[in-house]
Amino acid sequence: MKTNFTQDLLNSDPFDKSLEARELFLRSFKENALHHYQKHEFTRKLWNKLGFHPDQLLTEEDLSSVPGTMVHLFKEHELCSVPREDLVLTLTSSGTGGQKSRQFLDQKSLDNVKKLALAIHQSLGMASSKEYNYLCFTYDPAVANDLGTAFTDELLTNFTGKKEVYYAIQFDPKQNDFVLNEEGVVETLKRFAASGIPTRILGFPALLYEVIEKHQIELKLGDDSWLQTGGGWKGKADKEIPKKEFRKFIFKHLGIPEKNQRDLFGMVEHGIPYVDCEKGNLHIPNFARVYVRSPFDLSLKPKGERGLLHFLCSYNFSYPAPSLLTTDYGRVGECDCGLGTDILILEGRAGVSKHKGCALKALELLEKN
């Protein structure tokens, strides 16, 4: 049996909707699921108990029958499908309270995630050989490489040529902690605006918004400048501005065209980047599947309806999360930008209970809503 469907998949067009492309995902997923079934005892026992075996995956429709492993399990236990000594990187979420998320990567899986992220950004017209100055609202990866956001930012800066990279979250010896260097951000933005080289800003929208408001920034960074946001409005949900309004605000204050403002949604446990097209919609690449499930009985919801998000992916052979059931709400929809694939519409988290108890507790609370 051929066993490198995953490499074939990651070498293919991320937004190809053809039957052939979709079958390639199916084969790749089956290859990955069989690996975890063989190498990860818990996954094997869980699937056995639920009457599922990867050999049952014969058609695209069968993919929706893969049981999802609850995201909490990955927060509470260190789950891994390869020997510890094979791991080259552990990613953790930045963690705004509650339990931290972790993901374990061996060399093959790390190469895979880098490859698929590049392919997605290239397909969306976001990769370039041109040089950019970067302002990153993260920690310097030299000091915090295991943080998911720092890892993502370092990865993203490699998708273009780069001149200067400024990391805005720095260690302050006086406070003995990492803090946002606001003055540094303002100075850097002004310097970049005057440099004649286009700018790319990477970071949390809330931090950027606060700095612009507080310092009344009005700059023209130019038509080829970009804003790539991620991480949502974590911890600042009360100040959250709808995406459309935020895009206008950024154009007004920084002169970055709206079509160059792209949000990215990712979960440390899942690793697939869902990235905005020009119209500001998060497209689902063929490297993943997104199902929406009823919080009551986990039954499949039809396209367009709201429910809990269930993600499938096939690139990671070291971390047994090919089928991840989350406590995030969302829907699957469509976009008319021409890319063709379905989009992911996020509708918030399932209440404050998310980080507090076991999976069942969260589901109980959901049922009360």
What is the rounded CA–CA span in Å between residue 40 and residue 350?
Answer: 29
Take residue 280 and report the two structure tokens written for it.
Answer: 């500001």
91 versus 282: smaller Cβ distance to Zn ion: 282
The stretch among 53-61, 228-236, 280-288, 308-316 that binds Zn ion (CB under 5 A) is 280-288
Using CA atoms, how far apart are residues 99 and 111, in angstroms rounded to an integer? 27
Phi-psi region of 174 (alpha: psi -120 to 50; beta: other; left: phi over 0): alpha
* 32 scored as a contact of Zn ion (CB under 5 A): no
Query: Least Å distance between CB 252 and Zn ion?
Result: 23
Interface segment toward Zn ion; rule CB under 5 A; list 75-83, 261-269, 331-339, 360-368:
331-339
**Stretch in the footprint of Zn ion (CB under 5 A) among 202-210, 274-282, 308-316, 356-364:** 274-282
Q: Which listed residue (337, 345, 346, 359) binds Zn ion by CB under 5 A?
A: 337
C-beta separation of 179 from 170 below 8 A? yes
Q: Is 255 within 8 Å of 225 (Cβ atoms)?
A: yes
Does 126 help bind Zn ion (rule: CB under 5 A)?
A: no
Q: Which residues contact 270 (CB under 8 A, 6 or more apart)?
A: 288, 311, 313, 321, 324
Interface with Zn ion includes 335 (CB under 5 A)?
yes
Q: Which is nearer to Zn ion, 154 or 342 (CB)?
A: 342
Choice between 106 and 276, CB closer to Zn ion:
276
The reply to whether 169 sits near Zn ion by the rule CB under 5 A is no
For residue 221, give the DSSP letter.
-
Told to check if 345 binds Zn ion by CB under 5 A, we report no
Number of H helices, E strands in the chain: 11, 15
Binding residues with Zn ion: total (CB under 5 A): 6
Q: What are phi and psi of 28, to 5 degrees?
A: -65, -40
Token pair in block for residue 171: 């260690």
Kindly state whether residue 225 participates in binding Zn ion, applying the rule CB under 5 A: no
Choose the binding region for Zn ion from 89-97, 149-157, 202-210, 339-347 (rule: CB under 5 A): 339-347
| Region of 30-38, 165-173, 279-287, 360-368 interacting with Zn ion (CB under 5 A) | 279-287
Answer yes or no whether residue 120 interacts with Zn ion by CB under 5 A.
no
Which lies closer to Zn ion via its Cβ, residue 98 or residue 340? 340
Residues composing the chain = 369
Nearer Cβ to Zn ion (116/339)? 339
SS3 at position 25: helix
| Closer CB to Zn ion, 279 or 355, in the complex | 279
Contacts of 140 (CB under 8 A, 6+ apart): 150, 167, 169, 170
Own/partner pairs for 218-222, CB < 8 Å, 24+ apart?
218/253, 219/189, 219/190, 219/193, 219/253, 219/254, 219/255, 220/193, 220/254, 220/255, 221/189, 221/192, 221/193, 221/254, 221/255, 221/256, 222/193, 222/198, 222/255
Applying CB under 5 A, does 275 fall inside the site for Zn ion?
A: no
CB atoms within 10 A of CB 70: 18
* Segment interacting with Zn ion (CB under 5 A) among 53-61, 231-239, 328-336, 346-354: 328-336
By CB under 5 A, residue 186 contacts Zn ion = no
Residue 298 within binding range of Zn ion, rule CB under 5 A:
no
CB closer to Zn ion out of 168 and 277: 277
Q: Does 277 bind Zn ion (CB under 5 A)?
A: yes
Q: What are phi and psi of 106, to 5 degrees?
A: -90, 175
Q: Does 123 bind Zn ion (CB under 5 A)?
A: no
Position among 69, 103, 281, 286 found at the interface with Zn ion (CB under 5 A): 281
Q: State the residues that interact with Zn ion by CB under 5 A.
A: 277, 279, 281, 335, 337, 339
